[in-house]
Amino acid sequence: MVVVMSPSATDEQVDAVVARVEDAGGEAFVSRGVSRTIVGLVGDVERFGALDLRGMLGVSDVVRISAPYKLVSRQHHPDMTTVYVGQRRVPIGPDTFTLIAGPCAVENPGQTLEAALMAQAAGASLLRGGAYKPRTSPYAFQGLGEEGLRILADVRSETGLPVVTEVVDADDVDLVASYADMLQVGTRNMANFSLLQAVGSVGKPVMLKRGMSSTIEEWLMAAEYIAQRGNLDIVLCERGIRTFETATRNTLDISAVPVAHTMSHLPVVVDPSHSGGRKDLVVPLSRAAIAVGADGIIVDVHPEPESALVDGAQALVNGDLRALAQAVLQLPPLLGRRPALEA
């Protein structure tokens, strides 16, 4: 259920609604949009019905939300959300297009810095890189852990690029958050509910990748776990789903971008590297992502993909980046977006 405040409602009137809901044992989440403030209610809907919220000063409407996800739904928050990352406040949202790029895994300081410089030259405004790698095989490189986080922080100091990095274990959330500007939850952990609650409690933006076998609704329910802990700085990431097709690693579900945008106010980015699993597909899939209204893309780059410890087959090298940079600079303005770098 959401309480829609009238555009002229005062802070005191909003506080009074929150107090009445909390006194009745419910939880209230206040979202201040551009045009109006909305209070989302979580708890026993029947009990809220008896509170006469509609009769309170400053209340314009009380709406029951039928979707099982509430705080992340468009019904709850009709204005699209912009998430700001890092000290530079790099935007990810409806007015901009954000390129996030970097190595799949942090391997050493030199490789990470080189990849970051390549990413920056191609127009990236955020650096990606995994220090904790969720690998299908327990014998594969699992990441450098805290040493990798330190390398990312050093490269951030050197380049100014805020850092997005994955956390795979709820016990590591505080540690990863102490280094990172944005926490990534990977496809294999989308339904790890204790991890979702932990990243929801830590006060840093979160990139939530879609589970490779999850529906869009399940993805939004996972986002709701994060939001319900008070963190609405969530960016959804479509990274391909499992289908019968074997030519690509996964099938990029391009329709998930506009579908998620109609169901949720959260920004949606696309990962053309992990979905295709092939570097020759990264630029065409990036163009497709821009065309369907993605708010950004997250792309693997590596100075020497042949020797990459993880995912070399999909990593772009310097020679490939010109086409990516061109797409990212030239296409979004045709759709009314400016590159996040200039924002």
**Span 221-240, contacts to ligand PEP by CB under 6 A:** 239
Name the residue among 184, 163, 169, 187 with its Cα closest to residue 102: 163
Closest contact distance (angstroms) between CB of 271 and ligand PEP is 6
Q: Does 187 bind ligand PEP (CB under 6 A)?
A: yes
Phi (first) and psi of residue 310, to 5 degrees: -140, 135
Tokens of 140: 């594969």
Question: Cα 64 to chain center, whole Å?
Answer: 27
339 binds ligand PEP (CB under 6 A): no
Residues found near Mn ion in the complex (CB under 5 A): 104, 311
Q: Give the chain's length.
A: 343
SS3 state at 320 = helix
Task: Identify which range of 32-40, 46-54, 140-148, 181-189 contacts ligand PEP by CB under 6 A.
Answer: 181-189
Contacting range for ligand PEP; rule: CB under 6 A; set: 42-50, 184-192, 222-230, 314-322? 184-192
Of 112-120, 180-188, 195-203, 256-264, the window that binds ligand PEP (rule: CB under 6 A) is 180-188
Question: Is there a contact between 83 and 252 (Cβ–Cβ < 8 Å)?
Answer: no
Instruction: Tell whether residue 130 is a contact of ligand PEP (CB under 6 A).
Output: yes
Question: Residue 138: helix, strand or coil by DSSP?
Answer: coil
160, interface contact from ligand PEP, Mn ion, none, CB < 5-8 Å by kind: none
| Tokens of residue 186, six digits | 């990977």
Binding mask of the shown chain, residues 90 to 119, with x at each position contacting ligand PEP by CB under 6 A:
--------------x---------------
**Closest distance between ligand PEP and the C-beta of residue 206, in Å?**
13
Burial (CB < 10 A; 0-12, 13-18, 19+), residue 153, is middle
Beta carbon nearer to Mn ion, 181 or 311: 311
Q: What is the token pair recorded at 110?
A: 């030199």
d(CA 70, CA 77): 9
CA distance 215 to 264: 14
Residue 310 CA to residue 27 CA, distance in Å, equals 43
Residue count, binding to ligand PEP (CB under 6 A): 11
Of positions 209, 249, 287, 337, contacts ligand PEP by CB under 6 A: 209
Q: If we measure between CA atoms, which residue out of 328, 333, 275 comes closest to residue 124? A: 328
Q: Which of 86, 102, 143, 186 binds ligand PEP (CB under 6 A)?
A: 186
- Minimum CB distance to Mn ion smaller for 77 or for 133: 133
C-beta nearest to ligand PEP: residue: 186
Residues 25-44 that bind ligand PEP (CB under 6 A): none
Residue in the structure block whose two tokens are 């390129």: 99
Q: Which residues bind ligand PEP (CB under 6 A)?
A: 104, 130, 134, 166, 186-188, 209, 239, 271, 274
